Amino acid sequence: MAHRPAFGHEEWPTSPLDAARVAFGWLTAGDHPVTVDGRAFDYLPDRDIRVDELRDLLLRRSCPRRVWDQIWRHVITRSRDEGGTWTIVAVGLALPMLTPMASRLTDRYAGDPADIHAEIVRGFLDTLHTIDITTGRITIRLRWAAYRAGHAALIAALDGPTPKSPGFFSAEPRHPSGHPDLVLARAVLAGVLTETEADAISETRLGDTALNEWATRRGIEFWAAYKTRSRAEHRLAAWITETADESAEADPTGAEATTHTDIHHAGTRTHSVAEEVDAAVSNARPKSGLQDRG
């Protein structure tokens, strides 16, 4: 029998990230943990591999980038076909990138970060259903989809200028200001940076990853990565200067201030995403496939 939760529903974690972590743990417990067949993939051991071990193998510096894409194609396909268990596996494998992302997005946010974290998970889950898995860079595309969702929720939750039209709306600042990672996300949305360029700046300038490590994980020569980051940083600096100059004469309560997400529903995000994860867990319990192997 697969491991059942030791606590009641009333004690279920309210944070979607915590809920996903607990659910992922259930999938690796007991006599019949969820596994993948390592023989079907490059680099991996030629045996059945528990999904928590799979996560750790993917995090190794020596793990080739192509293996990330192979694994994500497999997991996403099973999530789309079967839901439940494999959706939890997908989120569980992504937790090492979603958790620090959520922390970084909300480290200066004075409000309750749970809603922002919920939108990060929702952005990730939504993208599982739509992402093109026939092309590469799946991990980076999933990461930035989740980041954009969290960024949009954060902007919607921040206090903005008073709109001229009726209703309560929040507005993104007209120039790229705030936490550096938010500036990067806006630059990607504006087409100034590619997701790969933003990822390089975020990981190697704002995070703790050395550029040579970042380049190795992505199969890029160090000097190519160095030049890519340098050119991206020059474009980013020029864009920040240009948009800051333009915003000096802008009307802060213009039309843009009234075209963003209505924050009236912000409080429902955490609950709805937690319910979605909880539903996946319910479907994944013993009678619905938790004992299935990869």
User: Is residue 44 over pLDDT 90?
Assistant: yes
117 and 240 in one domain?
Answer: no
pLDDT at site 22: 93
Instruction: Kindly state whether residue 252 falls inside one of the protein's structural domains.
Output: no
* pLDDT of 159 strictly over 80: no
pTM for this predicted structure? 0.63
User: Does residue 20 sit within a domain?
Assistant: yes
- Check whether 13 has a pLDDT greater than 50: yes
Q: What mean pLDDT comes out for the span 73-84?
A: 95
Of the residues 230, 247, 264, the one at which a domain ends: 247
- Whole-Å CA distances, 2 to 23, 34, 195: 12, 10, 39
Between CA 166 and CA 48 the distance in angstroms is: 59
Q: How far apart are the first and last CA of the chain?
A: 17
The pLDDT of residue 75 is above 50: yes
- Residue 164 within a domain: no
* Domain co-membership, 72 together with 102: yes
86 and 196 share one domain: no
DSSP designation for 204: I
Residue 264 domain-assigned? Answer: no
User: Do residues 136 and 31 share a domain?
Assistant: yes
Answer whether 30's CB lies under 8 Å from 3's CB. yes
Domain that holds residue 186: 180-247
Top-confidence range, 107-111, 182-186, 226-230: 226-230
Helices (H), 158-268: 180-189, 195-201, 211-217, 222-247
Tell me whether residue 170 is in a domain.
Answer: no
- Indicate whether 287 pLDDT > 80: no
- Judge if 67 and 121 occupy the same domain: yes
Asked whether residue 130 is assigned to any structural domain, the reply reads: yes
Q: Do residues 128 and 60 both lie within one domain? A: yes
Task: Let me know whether 187 and 145 are in one domain.
Answer: no
The more confidently predicted of residues 149 and 161 is 149
Q: Tell me the mean pLDDT in the region 74-90.
A: 95
Query: Does 245 or 204 have the greater pLDDT score?
Result: 204
Are residues 63 and 141 located together in one domain of the fold? Answer: yes
Helix (H) or strand (E) holding 49: strand 48-50
Going by C-alpha positions, the residue among 59, 57, 159 that lies closest to residue 99 is 59
For residue range 128-142, what is the model confidence (pLDDT) as tens digits?
999 999 988 898 889
Q: Are residues 88 and 221 in the same domain?
A: no
Pairwise pLDDT comparison (216 vs 38), residue with the higher score: 38
Identify whether 278 is part of a domain.
no
Q: What is the pLDDT of residues 233-282, one digit of tens each?
A: 898 888 888 876 655 444 433 333 333 333 344 445 555 555 555 556 55
Same domain, 58 and 185: no
Q: What is the mean pLDDT of the chain?
A: 77
d(CA 190, CA 289): 43
Question: Domains in the chain: how many in total?
Answer: 2
- Looking at the fold, whether 152 and 23 belong to one and the same domain comes out as yes
Residue 175 counted as domain residue: no
CA 284/CA 278 separation, integer angstroms: 10
Q: What's the pLDDT score for residue 146? A: 93
